[in-house]
Structure 1
Amino acid sequence: MEYIDSFVEAGSQILTSMAQLECNMREPYFIDNELNAENVVIMVGVTGELKGHAMLSMNEGLAKGIASKMMMGMPVETLDDMAKSALSELTNMVMGTTATKLEGKGLSIDITPPSLMTGERLSVSNDAIKTVCIPIETDLGDINFNVSIKNK
């Protein structure tokens, strides 16, 4: 939990500035065992002094709305390659900003390229590391920013 503030600040900053979303960051909480995700998940691995992963989870309608905002209002009817690229880049920016904030606290991390997954009833299991969920209410819908990290 001691590093979660960096993730919260980065998520709020990037979602507000790059996706033009009004964000209300809710109280983080722990998730035990399996995480039942929405039908769009973008995951980024974390390496270096911290290890694990972080992911944004949202429903498809919200994902389309965010992609549209990132593409200057262009209508997004389906999650095509362009929309998926926009969502992946958004997650990359959130995690890059998180890495910068952690660097300011004396922690060096690297991030992997984002992986975007879609489907019904997605679940992620991670028994080795507890997951912290940062619920984010936006004007387009809710996002769960799930962080599973541990010290090296």
Structure 2
Amino acid sequence: MDVKLINPILSAFGEIIPQIGFQTIEKKSLSVVGSTFKYDGILISLSVVGPIKGVIMIGMDVDSAKRFASRMMMGMEVLEFDQLAQSAVSEMGNMVCANACTQYSKSGIAGLDISPPILMIAQGGQATLSVPKTIVIHFLVDDIEIKVYVGLV
């Protein structure tokens, strides 16, 4: 995967997250995993089609997802990761990926489209993407650890 495919996603994440109530975004690390990886918690998956194809996934543990949803919902207490909380974090994924498509367009890659977000919840879950390698970007958003998985070609 071309590393240039990552910059629009980083820009989109940096633009959208502050708009939904978060103060600090720190990129902690970047790593490469194979097409299959394990996760605990939630994964928001959005497919990308057009000149670039693949998937962008955003993951965090369930407690972090509840805190994230609470912040998005103006501090409303989230005791369970229910449909409302799931909808909130899914919408964040939708916003980030839509903005990433705009960023790609600005860099000369136009005509991208994304699928509606799919939310998966698992402990000891496994995801397999249709790309040989997946780039994982580790963020700390305020005090919430978030991983962004990018599998694009």
TM-score (ref. length: structure 2) = 0.92
1:122 paired residue among 118, 122, 125: 125
Are the aligned partners of 1:71 and 1:86 in contact in 2 as well (CA < 8 Å)? Answer: yes
The one-letter amino acid paired with 1:117 is: M
Map 1:51-90 to 2 at 5 A.
Answer: 51-90=53-92
Are the aligned partners of 2:131 and 2:151 in contact in 1 as well (CA < 8 Å)? Answer: no
Q: In structure 2, list runs of 5 or more residues that go unmatched.
A: none
Tell me how far 1:127 sits from its aligned partner: 5.3
The one-letter amino acid paired with 1:97 is: N
Q: In structure 1, list runs of 5 or more residues that go unmatched.
A: none
Aligned positions, number: 150
TM-score (ref. length: structure 1) = 0.93
Q: Distance in 2 between matches of 1:3 and 1:33?
A: 17
The one-letter amino acid paired with 2:88 is: A
Q: Distance in 2 between matches of 1:122 and 1:48?
A: 29
Identity %: 29
Tell me how far 1:47 sits from its aligned partner: 0.3
Tell me how far 1:104 sits from its aligned partner: 0.4
The structure in which a higher percent of residues are strand is 2
Counterpart of 2:101 in structure 1 is: 99
Tell me how far 1:23 sits from its aligned partner: 1.1
